[in-house]
Amino acid sequence: MEQIVTGEAVVLDLPCARFPARILSRIIDMAVELVLIAVITILVGIADAGNSLDSATVAALILAGFVLVIVGYPVAFETLSRGRTLGKLALGLRVVADDGGPERFRHALVRGLAGAVECWALFGVPALITSILSAKGKRLGDIFAGTFVLRERAPRPASTAYLGVPAGGIAGPAAAPYWGPGPGAALTPIDPALRPWAASLDLSALPDPLATSAASYLSRYWQLNSAPRDALGQQLAADVAARVSPPPPPGLAPAAYLHTVLAERRNRALARLMPWSSTP
- Could you report the per-residue pLDDT of 22-32, keeping only the tens digit for each? 999 999 999 99
**Closest to 10 (Cα-Cα) out of 264, 275, 280:** 264
1, pLDDT greater than 90? no
pLDDT number for residue 11:
53
At 122, the pLDDT band (50, 70, 90 cuts) reads very high
Mean pLDDT for the chain overall: 81
Give the pTM: 0.61
- Comparison of pLDDT for 52 and 88, the residue scoring more: 88
Q: Please state, for a pLDDT cut of 90, what percent of the chain lies above it.
A: 50
pLDDT at 49: 81
Out of 88-102, 165-179, 230-244, pick the least confident.
165-179
d(CA 204, CA 206): 6
Asked if the model's pLDDT at residue 165 lies above 80, the reply is no
Residue 175 has pLDDT above 60, yes or no: no
Give the pLDDT score at 66: 94
Q: How confident is the model at residue 13, as a pLDDT?
A: 58
**b/e 115-132 (16+ beta carbons within 10 angstroms → b):** bbebbeeeebebbbebbe
Q: What are φ and ψ of residue 172, in 5° steps?
A: 165, 170
Reply yes or no on whether the pLDDT at 85 is more than 90: yes
Lowest mean pLDDT, pick from 11-20, 90-99, 136-145, 237-246: 11-20
pLDDT band at 48 (very low <50, low <70, confident <90, very high): confident
Summarised one tens digit per residue, pLDDT across range 246-269 is 999 999 999 999 999 999 998 888
Contact criterion met (CB below 8 Å) for 197 and 246: yes
Sequence-distant (≥ 6) Cβ neighbours of residue 57 within 8 angstroms: none
Q: Where are the domains of the chain?
A: 2-151, 157-280
pLDDT above 80 (res 277): no
Q: What angle do CA 279, 271, 278 make, to 5 degrees?
A: 25
